[in-house]
Structure 1
């Protein structure tokens, strides 16, 4: 073994992630071999290991999408509750031709429990999600967790429970039911189940909001923090008890180490051996072995060995935000506490750790989440000891006592919930200060790396000259150079929002949103989670105008969610939504770019045909946004404009339906590109093949968000069209851009 083996292996995995099996990776591997050395060998090993995992990946083939299958297998963990059903991961035992792991929804089915074996009739589709700049890519998130297909359970007499939960799964189910009964009606009782079993569907949206605002959301996940604290308590307790009553023939350190490791193993088992607990257990194992055998293994060496072990066990781990946050947090703690001649008191060490974690993890938090909790050090200084040293031991004591003294176990769980209620009251007061969460533009990797280096220099021991210079390296992160279009140019982005429409138009100093997409559920809507995320990614902290073409939910459903993040005046043809009604003849000029409302006029037309029609024009051409205009509306618009509709880019009217895009209208527009916003395999069959053929007959190139992800057009000094899924049309994505797309973090509290 060599120093930095884990780091070299990780870098090799990242190289394979970025380049994929192909010529680019071959060049990198050849360079590593030429450089030679053991570290070069570990680097190449990381490349090959990830490629083997990738070659073994077998998602559902596109040809099998939408087909029904009879599958047999096991429920893998506690299902997530949905408004009218549940969502769960399913381990397939047969048929062997299907992916090994599925994510399924079951509406109207019976309550499911982890470990149950079922035979189910399911309809499946390959893993995919929306692909947008700054947005959550569900497809990549599924890949990182090895899920090869998603789908739903069909209503069928063939659906049958084959075997109930057994072993540790049965134990988890019994404890979950007991905890639910004990904390029923007690505020924050859902967090007790989360801390005991990793079951988080009982945590309400208001609780998630408070945790996010104070930077304490990590406390409700069974992670390295809780596993490490419990192991430390058991290590000290085991040593002291054995020194007091045990035999001198057996080393007290050995007893403490075995008790600590066994306790951590049991806690990880209660959590269903989730990925964070597996990482924590491996890191703890390395640390305990080094401590027990008095080996000269530095904490950094132990961290490197744990890094190597995690990458070997799960080659896709670097795709997950928790991987970077957990290893990054431990690294920053080690760095902040190293080099001291005498140990600090415990409360001072905890405060120093929290103060070091904020600047140490803030760049990574901005990169992954687009936000940083400014109150996190103070909130965690209070919450970490309370939760880790009091609440979690109470919760686990309740689990241990339940089978012997159930009344005492219920009292322990209720006591934990009451302590959490007191904690939340304190967090609420902190959140009222108003400096809880700072949102910023998504930084590039260069800015993140510079800020991390700056923090390293700021934390060097006192007496080192020029420590203050480290603050200068934060400037690219705090005051980024935002990529705004130059004067006279507009950037128009059609976001992928499924069956709906959301478009963002940016000039040098102004931004407009045309339609906000649908609202999928109370916890996920396009306005808040796609459009607002894109605006944050682009560095906008305000929105000049929102245009809602008409009232259909696939165009206006995300309005409330967007305005909750970006308040702005609403223009619309729908009286119930409009602060300013859309009218033909409205026009304005932003930064040398002309905006003109071509429609509607007062006429007896249907709602679709009264859509707001917006034309955005530059010296290089125009973009036409016609909403859900249909044939009657197109004909009326042509009559009003005299055919002056020419635009280089047309967003397909009514998503390319057969009732729109009349030949006369298309001839008047004469587009080079037609951009269709539609849902993948949508039930309406949009865009209709006949209409697509009509576009192509004009010589227009047709792009569909369902296939291309977000589509971006730049019009001004030049003309360029890019797509987010599958690479650019005009040039390949750069190395840094590909790196920035790798890691996917599920938005906290959002249940997909």
Structure 2
């Protein structure tokens, strides 16, 4: 009787703990949407108050019978405490992250960096850049460095630094010690409503500063290599034709994969197979478990009682956990792998305790454990992908009762169902989907399941016995595995080359979320003959191609760093003014324009106006020409030497586009000859002056051209060579937008320009501070919204003002 009572107490305590975990996880995950961080002091007082209420209130007692009677009240109280604890956890770490300050004396200055490489993105394809310091070509590498020291500044262990380099030297590997001369600045990035969010990524990884390496005189020293680096270099020395695939699958070194590799993997939908995740750790754990089971049966047959007793169920569990942990370390301790290992550890602990928990209970405890280890991981997309993957596997396993089938049939059903369910998620994250991914995954996943444990065993044994007489045998075994991998990659290459292999869809998050909800409901419904009751969920998905109302028109000033790119749209038609900068041959708008057009339902780009030929205004032109051709856009390109001349007007979609500069017959394509564009609907207007200087401003004004506008971009990003007082008075704007990058070396906008606009009572917006800006024009009014303050206020998208200006300068 006593044992039963103790068991009931343990089960009840476990249920209460799970209720707490639900509140804790829900609160932590909600931090993704917080506009600001809550006050930790208030949270601590609230938690203390609820704990006191839980322990000492006369309606609560510590007897388990009383807890059962007061279950609703007790569980609600614990759920609320969990909510507050989760908020306190994220808020404390968030404040610590935001409060880390890089001293002004070290921002954009030469400092000595010493630290340990946590992760690296190595470019093994040299890019031809012409003659640079005597070198014809360079590698582009990027590192995340932990335990770093900047001169005499020692950073706390939880914070990291991201640096890049252009060099002819070899790449550092995780575990190596790095020492270099660098230039750094606080971690900051552009902010747009679509595309990659650099600031969120930095916060999720604990990266507090970014920069680039100016000089390192030596290669990574062999004495500073970590064990993983030594193993990786040994694999390199084997000179296998598919070394990149071996590095990715066995050691988690994805940087060896070339753009050609990624193209094939993305077109066949198999990228996830070659990126180490929880699936791979599960395969290794399953392989070790099966191997131990085989040994157990063998020793029982041979009647070795001593060995048989050492291979008990408990010891097998311990071996599986330890071996899986070793593989997690070998693969680089990636966050998805650590999560999977934690899940395995919790499952083993429950098995030892002989506790029976449901899958959702194990899942929420595992999620809470992972978040506690790294609270900022709630900002990382990989966390949600991992949760979705585990949820789908559990959902399909439960819905189709796969336990009643043969294990092979169960795996086939699970793979087919996952391939269908993953379609909207793939479209949501990547915008494209591979038609042949189901076939590719049905072939590749089983092969990788066989290859991974076998490949690890052969390779690691070869590494340990490399100086023995058996090395030749294992060398032949590696060659045989390489032969098999070559044939698999040939098969994937064939699928990727098939015409019409992939498709993309012009949509955005709500419709795809509705499609995901529809598929989940269909799976959950016990009677599939009544699937039609879920059809209302598809309404947003069915309306994805409906254009916006053409009454209003919009100016979308994209945050492209130091440069200009503006989309003007009305309904489904658009104009692009300037194409933004390009860095290392990568145009910034390549990750913005396609997704933005999908979200705005733009299907026609009528004009592309490039104000002049400087790279910060024309850097994306080549990309756009190729992208327009592939999407069958017919656009007219206008520049100072092609169609842009003073006096020309274009009627477009109810708007009047006037070109104010340069003069007819112009042959120059520089700053002074920038194409100056004025767009008006009769009530409101916008002015785009390009990079014209004072001389061009005076020339326009002397010709008595109407330049008045409600909103304008500052000429030349706010340079002191532009925006004269008379120019600002004639334009008489209500607001001006300075399209400049954070900590740009020219210190745009200049102090004199800021003061000129202040004297004329013009509200000023800095792109580096505001992020993306949307100006909405209605028939009788207009509004200006910024991403960081209005459209997407998030605590991790904090605004940083330029050091050469104060926020007060812009608000006076």
User: In structure 2, do the counterparts of structure 1 residues 570 and 199 end up closer, same or farther at CA, with 3 Å as the change threshold?
Assistant: farther
Task: Decide which of 167, 184, 200 is 2:254's aligned counterpart.
Answer: 200
Specify the alignment match of 1:52 in structure 2: 92
Aligned CA-pair RMSD: 3.4
Distance in structure 2 (CA, Å) of the matches to 1:39 and 1:409: 56
Distance of 1:632 and 1:119 partners within structure 2: 49
1-structure distance, mates of 2:43, 2:573 = 44
* Cα distance change, pair 440–424 in 1 and its aligned pair in 2 (3 A): farther
Structure 1 counterpart of 2:116: 74
Counterpart for residue 141 of structure 2: 86
What residue ranges of structure 1 are gaps of 5+ in the alignment?
743-752
CA distance in 1, matches of 2:523, 2:270: 23
Greater relative contact order structure (CA < 8 Å, 6+ sep)? 1
In structure 1, the residue corresponding to 2:254 is in which secondary structure?
Answer: coil
- Pick from 364, 374, 394: which aligns with 1:334? 394
> What is residue 239 of structure 1 aligned with on the other side?
293
Contact 1:593 1:617 in 2 (8 A): yes
TM-superposed deviation, 1:518: 1.6
Equivalent residue number for residue 336 of structure 2: 276
Name the structure 2 match of 1:36: 76
Judging changes above 3 Å, is the alpha-carbon distance between structure 1 residues 593 and 268 closer, same or farther for their aligned structure 2 residues? same
Q: Does 1:469 align with 2:533?
A: yes
Question: 1:350 pairs with 395, 398, 411, which one?
Answer: 411
Q: Who is 2:25 aligned against? A: 10
Task: Give the TM-score normalised by structure 2.
Answer: 0.81
2:500 matched to 1:443?
no
- 1:194 Cα offset (Å): 1.6
Aligned residues of 1:183 and 1:417 also touching (Cα < 8 A) = no
Kept in 2: contact 1:70–1:122 (CA 8 A): yes
Cα distance change, pair 252–156 in 1 and its aligned pair in 2 (3 A): closer
Q: Which moved more, 1:677-686 or 1:63-72?
A: 63-72
SS in 1 for 2:736: strand
Q: Deviation at 1:370?
A: 3.9
- For 2:526 and 2:30, the matched residues in 1 are separated by 37
Are the counterparts in 1 of residues 678 and 686 from structure 2 also a CA contact under 8 Å?
A: yes
Alignment of 1:141-156 (within 5 A): 141-155=201-215
Whole-Å separation in 2 of the counterparts to 1:225 and 1:380 = 13
**Is residue 2:567 matched to residue 1:504?**
yes
One of 234, 238, 242 as aligned partner of 1:178: 234
Give the distance between the partners of 1:355 and 1:470, measured in 2 at CA.
22
Give yes or no for contact 1:622–1:648 (8 Å, CA) kept in 2.
Answer: yes
Residues 1:27 and 1:118: Cα distance change in structure 2 (over 3 Å): closer
Q: Distance in 2 between matches of 1:66 and 1:483?
A: 45
Give yes or no for the alignment of 1:668 onto 2:723: no
Moved more, 430-439 or 105-114: 105-114
Deviations 1:477-502, CA, capped at 9 Å, x for gaps: 35338683x33422111111122111
Q: Could you tell me which residue of structure 1 aligns to residue 155 of structure 2?
A: 98
Q: CA deviation at 1:140?
A: 1.7
Q: CA deviation at 1:361?
A: 4.0
Deviation at 1:334, TM superposition (A): 0.9
Which residue of 2 is the match for residue 556 of structure 1?
Answer: 618
2:190 counterpart (118, 130, 134): 130
Match of residue 616 from structure 1: 679
1:457 aligns with 2:517: no
By how many angstroms is 1:412 displaced?
4.8
- Closer, same or farther in 2 for the Cα pair 1:714/1:30, shift >3 Å? farther
Of 309, 312, 324, the match for 1:264: 324
Q: Do the aligned partners of 2:40 and 2:92 also contact (CA within 8 Å) in 1?
A: no
3-state SS in 2 of match to 1:234: helix
Structure 1 residues 222 and 392 mapped into 2: Cα distance closer, same or farther (>3 Å)? farther
Asked whether the equivalents of residues 487 and 592 of structure 1 are also in contact (C-alpha less than 8 Å), the reply is no
Contact 2:40 2:88 (8 Å CA) reproduced? no
Give me the whole-angstrom Cα distance separating, in 2, the residues matched to 1:139 and 1:181.
38
Deviation at 1:694, TM superposition (A): 1.9
CA offset digits 1:303-358 (Å, max 9, x no partner): 22211211111111221111111121111111111152753344443343234334
Distance change >3 Å, CA 37–CA 483, structure 1 → 2:
farther
Q: Using the alignment, how far apart are the partners of 1:615 and 1:557 within structure 2? A: 22
Task: Name the residue aligned to 1:721.
Answer: 784
| Deviation larger for 362-371 or 374-383 | 362-371
The higher radius of gyration belongs to: 2
1:92, distance to aligned residue in structure 2 (A): 2.8
> With structure 1 as the length reference, what TM-score do the two structures score?
0.87
Residue 223 of structure 1 deviates from its aligned partner by: 0.5
TM-fit CA distance, 1:647: 0.9
Superposed displacement of residue 465, structure 1: 5.4
Aligned residues: 720
Q: Give me the whole-angstrom Cα distance separating, in 2, the residues matched to 1:110 and 1:215.
A: 31
Spell out, residue by residue over 1:78-129, the C-alpha distance to the aligned partner (whole angstroms, 9 max, x if none): 4533844532122235445535421123444665343333454433211111
> What is the rounded CA distance, in whole Å, between the counterparts of 1:434 and 1:271 in structure 2?
35
Conserved? CA contact 1:243–1:252, under 8 Å = no
1:670 deviates by 1.5
Q: Which residue of 1 aligns with 2:448?
A: 387
Match in the other structure for 1:596: 658
User: 1:648: how far off?
Assistant: 0.8
User: Closer, same or farther in 2 for the Cα pair 1:672/1:374, shift >3 Å?
Assistant: farther
Separation in 1, partners of 2:537, 2:267:
27
